[in-house]
Chain A
Amino acid sequence: MELVNRTFRHWSLVPAVLLFAVLTLYPTVNLVRMSVSTIEFTQGGEAWSFTPLRNLALLRADEVVPPAVRNTLLFVVAAVTIEMALGLGLALLVAGVTRGKGLIRTVMILPILVPPVAIGSMWKLLYNYDFGVFNQALVALGLPPANWLGSTSLAMWSVVAVDVWHWVPFVFLILFAAVEALPVDVLEAARVDGATRPQLLRRVILPLLRPAIVVALLFRTILAFKVFDEVYLLTSGGPGTSTELITLHLYKVFFEQNQLGYGALLSLALIAAILAVLLVGGQGVRVARA
């Protein structure tokens, strides 16, 4: 009877394993296969040739990749840092409010609900040099208009600002839930023991929030690496290469230039970079805990 049960348990896993293989393993294996091939279309069909060195040579010679990698790292670090700081600050602030928490929370999550395409279009209008609200405000204050998206020194920060506007509510929601769930007796005990507000925050609240902070940080880092639509609509990577991100370059290689093999190699490089950041980040968290 036990043997039958064990056999049944093993076989019952088969559908899930098959589904996993079809949906995850096959695309990944195919991506690896593409990354070592040149794919051309001729006579109405595909022609694959095994050329691993050719794609590597393309990667080495691609002059857009280095600025794209630098910009991606800058974008991820800047956007995620600001979002975490603002999200945490807002969570603590709103948790201290006695009335209207529900309304504040509802209003706060609105940016997450807006589709990225709408966000890109909306902010492009706001940033418009001649007709945008920001420049009209600057001019009304007697200041010169700013070249938000057309200046190499400002464009990246304009893009980061949009991402921050979009994703701070996400961080806020996770951390707000965690703040609301903090054990009141522990906080009370600390206060009774004479802890000041900064001490309470640094010694009690932040350590208790650490799991939620790690989750928010993890999600935001992964999503920031993958950002595409907002940047594509706002700047398309320009001016020059000042806002070129690896995802944008990947899109151009894959879809505009139709270089499927090289595009697959870039995709794998991006996946590897995200995994590396997560592994290093995870190690950092473990070290911090220890």
Chain B
Amino acid sequence: MNIRNLLHRVLVAAGACAVVAPALAQAPFVDVGKQPPITIVTPSAPWYPAFEKTVDLYEKQTGNKVKLDVTPFVGILEKMRNAVRSGQSPYDLLMINSPNTVEFYEGGFLTPLKEIDASFDVPKEVFSYGDSGWWNAQKRWRTANGGQLMAFTPLGNVQLLHYRGDVFRQAGLAPPKTWQDVLAACTKLSDPPKMYGFVARGERGNGIRYDWHSVLMAEGGDVARNAEAGDFTVIINSPQAKNALDLFIELMKKCAPPNYGSLGQGDVIQLLATGKAAMADVVVAATASFDDPAKSAVVGKVDTVPLPAGRGGARGAAIGNWNTAVPKNLPDAQKKAALAFSRWFLSYGAQRAFAEAGGIPNRSDVYTSDLAKLPAYRWFPAYLETQKFAAQDLGYAEGSQIDQILGLRLNQALIGEMSSGKALNAAAREIEELFRKNGRKTGSLPPLPE
């Protein structure tokens, strides 16, 4: 081989590399090979159609079969409990709502993902979502620090402040940056019954608790002083929490429809989609529906910003993600097949396909891709920004009971059955009792004036 030939070969090889390298660098999908069929139990949430399309793509690409058991939100927890408590789980992958993960982790019902395949890892581009997929059994806390990888997030729901861009521009208002901005703007824009300035969930239960929790975080409040460090002193009746509750009540009373005490997620979405609300605190999973002409009268008019900051400048957003996990009571082959699907689903290509189908991707590189330039994905920057401060809430075994306690007391304060101080004192008393009963190191603050 002479020099000329060698140079020619090197040039051809370099050219080929230049063509192939970008494709290889992106490596959009993971090849998982032939796998036995799996069954996934999944909630019939607003993002389900996007998930179904992405699963279809998996089946087409790999030839592997996936059966989806679509279950209403209210029934899915019980289905999964029954599955993991039985002899062999009928589901190979579970979709667990974040607050319920602790029950499954503590109960020992799941297989740590690295036990199935030690080489498995969640790609670094995937958001951590407050480490909800990790479990540190010693600390009884969800953290990657000393924890085991138990699950990954297929869908990272967070609340965004949705607002009518056209209405704001017409009124000469800037998108709200603080909750005080929201109050000022909603007061200006409220013109009931034609237009309500601001809507959020006020119904008793998880609705009001979850929507209010982000305001609580922004005001610098919390339920327990430092649960991660084992300090379960109840601080839900702090002045910060009272500020957050008073602000939430003022917003709802001044700007929401008169039935604010019973507004659920469907109502909030409906009010925004029909053009009757100027602002709404809504989960990002519903965002795409506002641009769907079949479901919305305000196509192209709803914009998003991260949830606003509190008086001290802090921002808060409670993460409401789902967690995909593999039950313990499964044969090894099924566990491996479940993990293979997980590996594929977490790849860039799958997450991009999920986004294009209307889902909420979990990888940062999808949010910085060319998709972000398209109008349909104008919520990407708000979501990306929210990941900087969004946090898990109620990440302990008592979470679901505290959700119930607060869900009632907050609603009672909102509808005027009791003052905000009295409601928070009552909640603090009940939560402290709950922690004490469970052997936690707990205590309480002096009661608020009632």
Contact = CB atoms under 8 A, between A and B. Distances in A.
9 contacts: A41-B108, A44-B107, A61-B433, A130-B193, A147-B258, A150-B263, A236-B205, A238-B262, A241-B408
B303 interface: no
Interface string A255-289: 11111000000000000000000000000000000
A239 B415 contact: yes
A237 B208 CA distance: 14
Given A42-B106, A43-B108, A235-B262, 11 more contacts: A41-B106, A45-B108, A64-B408, A130-B274, A149-B259, A150-B262, A150-B263, A239-B204, A240-B204, A241-B412, A252-B404
Nearest to A259: B401
A238 B430 contact: no
A238 B205 contact: yes
B276 A256 contact: no
B257 A130 contact: yes
A185 interface: no
Interface of A: 41-46, 61, 63-64, 128-131, 145, 147-152, 155, 235-241, 252, 255-259
Contacts of A149: 259, 262
Interface in B315-330: 328-329
Given A46-B85, A63-B430, A149-B262, A240 B417 contact: yes
Q: Kindly name the residue among A41, A128, A131, A149 whose own CB sees the greatest number of chain B CB atoms within 10 A.
A: A41
Interface of B: 77-78, 81, 84-85, 103, 106-109, 193, 203-205, 257-263, 267, 270-271, 274, 276, 328-329, 400-401, 403-404, 408, 411-412, 414-415, 417, 426, 430, 433
A46 to B, nearest CB: 7
A150 B430 contact: no
A225 to B, nearest CB: 22
A150 B260 contact: yes
Q: Report whether over half of chain B's contact residues are helix, strand or loop; otherwise say mixed.
A: helix
Q: Which 10 A-B pairs have CB atoms at the shortest separation, nearest pair first?
A: A238-B204, A150-B259, A41-B107, A150-B262, A239-B261, A129-B259, A43-B108, A44-B108, A240-B417, A239-B415
B415 A130 contact: no
Contacts of B78: 255
Given A131-B270, A236-B204, A256 B400 contact: yes
A41 B258 contact: no
Contacts of B81: 258
A198 B263 CA distance: 48
Nearest to A129: B259
A161 to B, nearest CB: 16
A41 B411 contact: no
Contacts of B328: 44
Contacts of A44: 84, 107-109, 328-329
Contacts of B257: 129-130
Contacts of A152: 415, 417
B329 A130 contact: no
A158 to B, nearest CB: 10
